[in-house]
Structure 1
Amino acid sequence: MILYPYQKRWLNDESRFKVGMFARQTGKTFTTTLEIVLDCMQAELGGKKARWVILSRGERQAKEAINEGVKRHLEALGIACQIMEVPFSPTINALEVILPNGSKITALPANPDTARGFSANVFLDEFAFHADSREIWKALFPVISAGWKLRVVSTPNGKGNKFYELMTDDNPQWSKHTVDIYQALADGLPRQIDELKQGLNDSDAWQQEFELEWLDEASAWLSYELIDSVEHIDAGKPELYSGNPCYVGVDIGARNDLFVIWVIEEVGDVYWTRELITRRRISFAEQDDLLDDVFNRYRVIRCCIDKTGMGEKPVEDAQKRYGSTRVEGVMFTLSSKLAMATIGKQAFEDRKIRIPQGDGELREDLHKLKKQSSATGAPRFVAESDSSGHADRTWACFFGIECR
């Protein structure tokens, strides 16, 4: 049985209250169930009985904790044991392992009722993913108040759960362990990071589950699931333009932000992305040339352009060339952003838009936009700026949909 240094640190930490945030597939459940088995064995050697309860996110995970954790450790130690499936309630069964001298390990799905039903040492496995984690916590803590130990492990799952509070609160009663994929690799865990990252193909999931970043999918205006649902292999191909009316959204950018033109062709009741043009650090003259080319190649009915700040002159120039009835300047305000973002999201939810398939930068850009509350409680939209932009593609898309 090979244990890496980070696993040994966790195993050898005898603190009563212990919480660990571990990257996926680094052996957090395996190591904690080993601690449980060793604790039971130590009790039995001293003529005592130990009592442990494992609360998992679901029935399948509870069975895995017993079969892939507890059972394997006992077999490796040559210890005979009895595993039984026993009814806990009319709808929930528990798995119990009974050791030769009466120590008992019980595993079952976590909810406030199961958390309330024992007096024992407790292991909360993948606690960030437990439904009603705060209610479970309130029900659980009196259970372990009489000197019992508590073990909590998980990967992050946003900030709206009790696990986030445990890991971030400054509470000296808790011994905290953090092991991201890079620490596990440095301690000898055999993993190919580039292969894993490319295979996952989801930067938010990588940051959260392997780099242990506190991401909150709930604040993303467009979820990955929503983005994936409107991707199509034929979207984003100018050669497939069929001559229908088009609507164009333009996000003006200079210096570090992108200049983006998003061309939408209306085909029936579906908005097909026909072309997505992105440029960085080009002159206003070059921006005008790109927009002129779009007007020449497509039957543009309306074009909405960001005229906030430096955008006023490009809007004025475009209106002179194509008329103020075809070109509209849109000021970025809290209310206009909310209106555009709401209409844009509705198009995604109703599957009324088609976007290019397999464009990683586009997916990240669309997912980057977050809705937050300001100090006054008013909604506002923010997006982190990085090398791929500042949600510039997203706003160009929303401008195009707004034109419709």
Structure 2
Amino acid sequence: MSGLLYPYQQRWLEDDSRFKIGMFARQTGKTFTTTLEIAQDVAFAELEKRRVRWVILSRGERQAKEAMDEGVKLHLRALNAGFESMETDFRLSDKTTVRALEVATTNGSKITALPANPDTARGFSANVFLDEFAFHKDSHAIWRALFPVVSKPGLKLRVTSTPNGKGNKFYELMTGEADIWSRHVVDIYRAVKDGLPRDIAALKEALNDDDAWRQEYELEWLDEASAWLPWELINGVEHDQAGIPELYAGGPCYVGIDIGRRKDLFVIWVFELVGDVLWTRQVIERRGASFAEQDQLLDEVFSRYRVMRCCMDKTGMGEKPVEDAQRRHGSTRVEGVLFTSPNKLTLATVGKQRFEDKGLRIPMGNQALRADLHKLQKVAGPTGAPRFVAESDAGGHADRAWACFLACNAAETGPVEYAYHPVPNKNSMRGNRRSL
């Protein structure tokens, strides 16, 4: 199978170092190649009548399933290695479980794929593959829990990712000086030179985001100093069950709307309050939508969800949409917010507090949304007063981030309490009079 790989993949596959780490540009096959290494190790063990154990820790359940289905199982079938597959519940606590995917061979070798978590990293003595490690929540805690797992002589550790800022363990490992690590770096230029069929100019033009291009394709470590929401905060609230409207459980909802008509996006962000956590249920984005379409989208949100409060950007062209929404849905539920500097500071502060407290959940792996949240910067204005900036580009000027912050602000009121007091009917009132 190695003959089907590009040279940079072959170099990674053939490197048998005990501790191996690779920084690869997006969509260059890092997971595919590493799961091939795992499958080959299992297949060779079968031939030699021995057992091996591998654990794959991915960003979430969906990514773990992709690594297993589109990587491990695919390779094992190609290698004609017999196996059985199963799914089980892996208990993290009395209240929390995650899905564990496992394949087992005839001779007893096993490969388990799990969402990364300090608790899932414990309890094994196995070879380990950390997939997209820079994006794992609590990467330092995962690392401390994980390393004893591979302490037994001969066990291997594989770590791959694209960069994700400097505040994570992957950055420390890649930039460290320890010679024990075999390090591989494959940016988009190296991959294309080795034969990967990509049109670099077209990719860069279509992405139209210099920071994202530098980080995800040129593998630069971007400075986090000016970002209002560092990558670590964004990583910490991602969940693969967020952003799925079908998971709405009927709870109170809070909505934020950033108004855009031509160049910028029109964004509706819907949170459902579950316990004390705001779960993203839906993020609606439109570019160039007419005001009539925007009204229709908002009406559908009010129809589908139990909206307690909605905060809308009423700056500039937003005045009329806000007035129209208040007329249709009530001024007690719809509030217009002017994007003045003090108001933006309040919105951003409320939003950031939610990220720091892990009081919300956002969709996992949505690159456009992640970039929007991260591109917002707080800078000093000419008078020294703070202001927020984000380069206006094809992805808007952080429209998704402001819709998120508006929804967080809407939730600051908490759920509205309703009380029911029955009104006595006329007969009961007469009876009361007679008894007096």
TM range (shorter): 0.5 to 0.7
- The CA distance in 2 between the partners of 1:270 and 1:56, in whole Å, is 41
* Identity within the alignment, %: 62
**1:253-272 paired onto structure 2 within 5 Å:** 270-272=314-316
Per-residue deviation, 1:87: 2.1
Structure 1 gaps of 5+ residues are 237-268, 274-339, 352-362, 373-378, 389-404
Match for 2:149 among 125, 143, 148? Answer: 143
Change (3 A) 1:130 1:120: same
- The match for 2:217 is 210
Give the letter for the 2:79 counterpart.
L
The answer as to 2:181 corresponding to 1:177 is no
Report the TM-score when normalising by structure 2.
Answer: 0.55
- The CA distance in 2 between the partners of 1:86 and 1:135, in whole Å, is 24
**Contact (CA 8 Å) 1:20, 1:153: kept in 2 or not?**
yes
Change (3 A) 1:346 1:201: farther
User: Could you list the per-position Cα deviations for residues 5-47 of structure 1 after superposition, in whole angstroms to 9, with x for gaps in the alignment?
Assistant: 1001101111100010001110000000000111112222222
Change (3 A) 1:192 1:344: same
User: Could you list the per-position Cα deviations for residues 33-88 of structure 1 after superposition, in whole angstroms to 9, with x for gaps in the alignment?
Assistant: 00011111222222211110000010011111110000110111122211111222
Change (3 A) 1:344 1:137: same
Match for 1:165 among 172, 190, 204? Answer: 172
**Contact (CA 8 Å) 2:43, 2:76: kept in 1 or not?**
no
- The CA distance in 1 between the partners of 2:82 and 2:9, in whole Å, is 25
Report which stretch shifted further, 196-205 or 18-27: 196-205
- The CA distance in 1 between the partners of 2:350 and 2:88, in whole Å, is 46
**1:194-205 paired onto structure 2 within 5 Å:** 194-205=201-212
User: Could you list the per-position Cα deviations for residues 82-120 of structure 1 after superposition, in whole angstroms to 9, with x for gaps in the alignment?
Assistant: 111122215112111111211111101110110002110
- The match for 1:53 is 55
Match for 1:232 among 260, 268, 276? Answer: 260
Per-residue deviation, 1:341: 7.4
- The match for 2:414 is none
Give the letter for the 1:11 counterpart.
L
- The CA distance in 2 between the partners of 1:138 and 1:40, in whole Å, is 27
Change (3 A) 1:92 1:234: closer
**1:303-314 paired onto structure 2 within 5 Å:** none
- The CA distance in 2 between the partners of 1:271 and 1:382, in whole Å, is 15
- The match for 2:104 is 98
User: Could you list the per-position Cα deviations for residues 304-342 of structure 1 after superposition, in whole angstroms to 9, with x for gaps in the alignment?
Assistant: xxxxxxxxxxxxxxxxxxxxxxxxxxxxxxxxxxxx977
Per-residue deviation, 1:194: 2.1
Change (3 A) 1:136 1:349: closer
For the pair shown, which has the larger CA radius of gyration, 1 or 2? 1
User: Could you list the per-position Cα deviations for residues 281-315 of structure 1 after superposition, in whole angstroms to 9, with x for gaps in the alignment?
Assistant: xxxxxxxxxxxxxxxxxxxxxxxxxxxxxxxxxxx
Give the letter for the 1:129 counterpart.
F
* Corresponding residue SS for 2:119: helix
- The CA distance in 1 between the partners of 2:342 and 2:229, in whole Å, is 11
**Contact (CA 8 Å) 2:379, 2:387: kept in 1 or not?**
yes
- The CA distance in 1 between the partners of 2:116 and 2:159, in whole Å, is 13
Give the letter for the 1:115 counterpart.
A
**Contact (CA 8 Å) 1:33, 1:70: kept in 2 or not?**
yes
- The CA distance in 2 between the partners of 1:371 and 1:76, in whole Å, is 54
User: Could you list the per-position Cα deviations for residues 247-306 of structure 1 after superposition, in whole angstroms to 9, with x for gaps in the alignment?
Assistant: xxxxxxxxxxxxxxxxxxxxxx95439xxxxxxxxxxxxxxxxxxxxxxxxxxxxxxxxx
- The match for 2:329 is none
Structure 1 vs Structure 2 CA RMSD? 3.8
Give the letter for the 2:129 counterpart.
F
- The match for 1:286 is none
**Contact (CA 8 Å) 1:223, 1:367: kept in 2 or not?**
no
**Contact (CA 8 Å) 2:344, 2:388: kept in 1 or not?**
no
**Contact (CA 8 Å) 1:52, 1:105: kept in 2 or not?**
yes
- The match for 1:279 is none
Per-residue deviation, 1:344: 5.8
* Corresponding residue SS for 2:40: helix
- The CA distance in 1 between the partners of 2:65 and 2:204, in whole Å, is 29
Per-residue deviation, 1:368: 8.0
- The match for 2:195 is 188
Per-residue deviation, 1:214: 1.2
Change (3 A) 1:349 1:234: farther
**Contact (CA 8 Å) 1:118, 1:143: kept in 2 or not?**
yes
- The CA distance in 2 between the partners of 1:368 and 1:88, in whole Å, is 37
- The CA distance in 2 between the partners of 1:76 and 1:96, in whole Å, is 18
* Corresponding residue SS for 1:115: coil
Give the letter for the 1:68 counterpart.
E
**Contact (CA 8 Å) 2:21, 2:183: kept in 1 or not?**
yes
Structure 2 gaps of 5+ residues are 235-256, 265-312, 318-339, 352-370, 394-436
